Amino acid sequence: MPPRLLRVVGWGSAAVLGLLTVAVFVLVLIPAKNAVLPTRIKYGLVFDAGSTHTSLYIYRWPAHKENGTGIVSQVEACSVSGPGISSYADDPAGAGASLKPCLDKAMQIIPAEQQRETPTYLGATAGMRLLREENSTKAERIFAEVSKAIGQYPVDFRGARILTGSEEGSFGWITVNYLLQTLIKFSFAEKWEHPQDTEVVGALDLGGASTQITFQPGVPVEDRNTSVFFRLYGTNYSLYSHSYLCYGQSQALKMLLAALHQASSSAEISHPCYPRGYEENLTVAELYDSPCVHAPSSASPGLVLRVTGTGDPAACGTAVRSLFNFSCGAQGPCGFNGVQQPPVRGQFLAFSGFYRSLHFLNLTGGQSLSLVNATIWEICNSSWEQVQGLFPTSSRRQLRDACTAISYTLTLLLQGYKFNSTTWPNIHFVRQVADIDVGWALGCMLNLTNIIPSEPLTAVTELPRSIWIAATVLLAIMLILTFCLLTAMCYQRSSSGYEQL
């Protein structure tokens, strides 16, 4: 064989062998690393129908990571105009109509081809719980109207219902720990792992008609009514959770005013938590329009009551504490009103009304308990004119209730939930985590769409499109070179035969 032809054959064999080695590496070793094909985004909608207002939350997440965590983002939070849906007891159609502007907004955000597969929920909380107790027929009519309104849109509507207090507290706890990645997080090894030596965080929620506390206690909880069990990502969680109906901020302030009215035994009410010089009129019917307050039998619904603020911090604190029964008796540690509660433990995120009350006075930055108390004393000792000067852009209602709301919030946390000067720094007042509003809505969606699985799922391995293309090109080159090598070998054989002839 001529030396040149020998070199061609040698180089061709070496090239084929080298490409075969590369191809084997590409097709065998690369798939061992998790990689996924690009996928589209999925969406979910949750209506948070609270006692004082309703919000629509629009979430999205990568479809191929549906069973992961830390990947849900909040696209939009649309505030529904008007009061909470429970306020439409005598106009149920109005409850449904109130949701439409936010649904129209959602349809502008979610691609048309994905709308029919978008899971949509409406969860109502303590406002509708109270209405159901007062008049179940009116509550059912409201749900029928809101379901009818949502059903007119091309979404995967999965129902409207009242959440239990335990669900509301538990979903809030899931939201908090999901966002903080204390349940599971993406590690440097590029896989989802349960964080080691990471404590879960407790959740404190204050709505308009109820308040919830949920945390992982340091001792077993014997009362089944306050015990919640989860198995998330292969880890068991035993939680304490309780919801106090009528102890949301709006209803508590109404209970306080009713107690002051009944103590006065007249149409003149002195309110120690309202600023000095503040005055307003309201009827007995307006005051006693909730199952949380009961009008005296002798009170005429049309009677006009005159309320005058006295701005007395000490008397305000005494009046607020009178709403609670802090006695635990022989049953052991409790929160209030005889409900058992183990000692609070660990870090807590306080959101909703807890955050709003302190944020109004710029007290959400980790201020000491002594500074918070001093600020409360100052605001509760102010006149109506002084309060208006301090907060010129705030509404009349916000200014009227500033002292009452912050006094109630602090009493609930310290005397009610049994935080103290030592554990106070463990409470972190937040509205959002990672640009997502903190509340029960996200936890509800995660639970109902199984984005949080009951057991960890095995990762699915797929090859990216680019790797398949590269492998195809390499195989094509191999075939061409093999063809050239075979041609050269045939030429070499024919040449040898010619030489022999």
Helix (H, G, I), strand (E, B) or coil at 156: strand
- Residue ranges of E strands in 363-458: 427-429, 432-433, 436-437
Within its chain, how far is the Cα of 151 from the centroid?
24
The torsion defined by the Cα of 169, 172, 176 and 181, in degrees rounded to 10, comes to 100
Active site residues: 168
* 453 token code pair: 């699985």
Please name the helix (run of DSSP H) or strand (run of DSSP E) that holds residue 86, with its range, or none. none
What residue type is 439 in one-letter code? Answer: G
CA atoms within 13 A on the CB side of 255: 21
Q: Where are the alpha helices (DSSP H) in 152-220?
A: 165-179
b/e per residue, 190-208, with b = 16+ CB within 10 A?
eebeeeeeeebbbbbbbbb
Please name the helix (run of DSSP H) or strand (run of DSSP E) that holds residue 185, with its range, or none. strand 185-186
Within its chain, how far is the Cα of 404 from the centroid?
27
Within its chain, how far is the Cα of 459 from the centroid?
26
378 exposure class (CB count in 10 Å sphere: 0-12, 13-18, 19+) = middle
d(CA 234, CA 236): 7
* 174 token code pair: 């899931």
Within its chain, how far is the Cα of 379 from the centroid?
31
